[in-house]
Amino acid sequence: MTTVHDTAVTTLAGDLSVWPASTAEPRPGDLAVGGVPLAEVADRFGTPVYVLDESEIRDRCRIYRDAFPDTEILYAAKAFLCRAMIHWMQEEGLGLDVCSAGELELAVTTGFPAERIVLHGNAKSPRDLESALRLGVGRIVIDSPSEIARLAAAVGPHGHQKVMVRVVPGISAGGHEKIRTGTEDQKFGLSISDGYAQHAIARILDQPQLELTGLHCHLGSQITSVKPYLAAVRRIVGLMARLHEQHGLLLPELDLGGGHGIAYRPGEQALDLTTLARKVRTELAEACAAAGLPVPRLIIEPGRAVAGPAGIALYRVLAVKRTGSHTYVAVDGGMSDNPRPALYGVRYAPRLVGRRTTADRAPVTVVGRHCEAGDVLATDVELPADVRPGDLLAVPVAGAYHLSMASGYNLVGRPPVAAVRDGHARLLVRRESLEDIRSRDVGL
């Protein structure tokens, strides 16, 4: 995608291309982000710790606004959410896409306008729907036929709620089979090909308290090609044309979801955001013209592409073990703070920071502290051959799906989140303590 790089990073080694644009090397072997040395962050807040470059996040929001000036941009909160992030999204003019009452209520109690929030979910609980209606959420995306009657009953005969329908266009896209959601035979959405989407839409039109504003689809995650989005536009506009013929319906909105791929390691491909915006607009205009339809307002939902590249995870090395032909570098975190390598086989590029070394680089596998053979953070990566206990490792592109997917495995406690900007670091989310864990355990 279009990036905010090419400033500080260009003066450094090429392997910093996936780091935040503010990354600098104030001293040999040390790295600073947002004007704050990473070693200083680790000393102040302990490790593991997530570091977020606030300016990088804000710059990425502005890139989206510039590329999609007439589009409603919703930040996908599932990637990472905290009160500061909610505040940044509001200031940068983005809406929010949430998946639960928890995400929704955190946003609204932080002061985010409920009408700029969209609620998703393939299986919304009664609490999810109750919170959405009580707080006045902007739209609810219907994901299954059973939600229609439940939602209509909850709204009541004199109420009103805007809704969208999540449709399945039958397109395979995404970086791993577990994150491809635009295909048939998976849990999300209603299929166009078998008629379930059309049937659900007809049922919604029979509920006067539900206002259908548009169609929604989400193809998957880590998509690096524009082509799947163009195919989705064509298929959804085709459905909109059939709905117009059958019901005289002109839908004003089309939500293409997110899934915009980013690079986790130098040299990896990322989705070109400028090309995506230009080609999607052209495809949408041409498809609507051919169908004799007005062009609906486009909605997109980036999450990872906003938060991911702005985050760094910092770990202390606990042990270095050489066994057979492998060298294992064990750190004080692992799959409890980043399950993605175990879930999806994601590969990262960790870097030694905080001290200068002239040692040659050697292949190692960075592993976590948890009691699982699959607790591996980075396989066969190159680190200085003199890496030793006490060293600090930094893992870039750690801003999305780390804390939000963190677990309580082995009761080690989830890491804190610190934000850096203009030479200052501040705590956003504190470390989960043993007392936090004990306080939830109420029975003997």
The residues carrying an active-site annotation are: 371
DSSP letter, residue 296: P
Contact assessment for residue 417 and residue 403, using Cβ atoms and an 8 Å cutoff: yes
Which residue in 95, 102, 85 sits closest to 116, CA to CA? 95
| Residue in the structure block whose two tokens are 């989310």 | 429
Whole-angstrom distance, CA of residue 178 vs CA of residue 181: 8
CA dihedral 369, 375, 378, 383 (to 10 degrees): 30
Tokens of residue 411, six digits:
């009761």
| Residue in the structure block whose two tokens are 């035979």 | 185
Instruction: Name residues whose C-beta falls within 8 Å of residue 370's C-beta, 6 or more positions apart in sequence.
Output: 334, 335, 336, 409, 410, 412
Cα torsion angle, 364, 368, 373, 376, sign: negative
Alpha helices in 317-380 (DSSP H): 340-344
Rounded to 5 degrees, φ, ψ at 154 are -70, -35
Contact assessment for residue 117 and residue 161, using Cβ atoms and an 8 Å cutoff: no
Strands (E), 14-132: 32-33, 36-37, 49-53, 72-76, 95-98, 117-119
Residue length of the chain? 444
Whole-angstrom distance, CA of residue 87 vs CA of residue 116: 13
Contact assessment for residue 163 and residue 205, using Cβ atoms and an 8 Å cutoff: no
DSSP 3-state assignment of 198? helix
Contact assessment for residue 296 and residue 212, using Cβ atoms and an 8 Å cutoff: no
Tokens of residue 153, six digits:
């009953």
Q: How many CA atoms lie less than 13 Å away from 218 in the CB half-sphere?
A: 28
Contact assessment for residue 384 and residue 359, using Cβ atoms and an 8 Å cutoff: yes
Whole-angstrom distance, CA of residue 414 vs CA of residue 393: 18
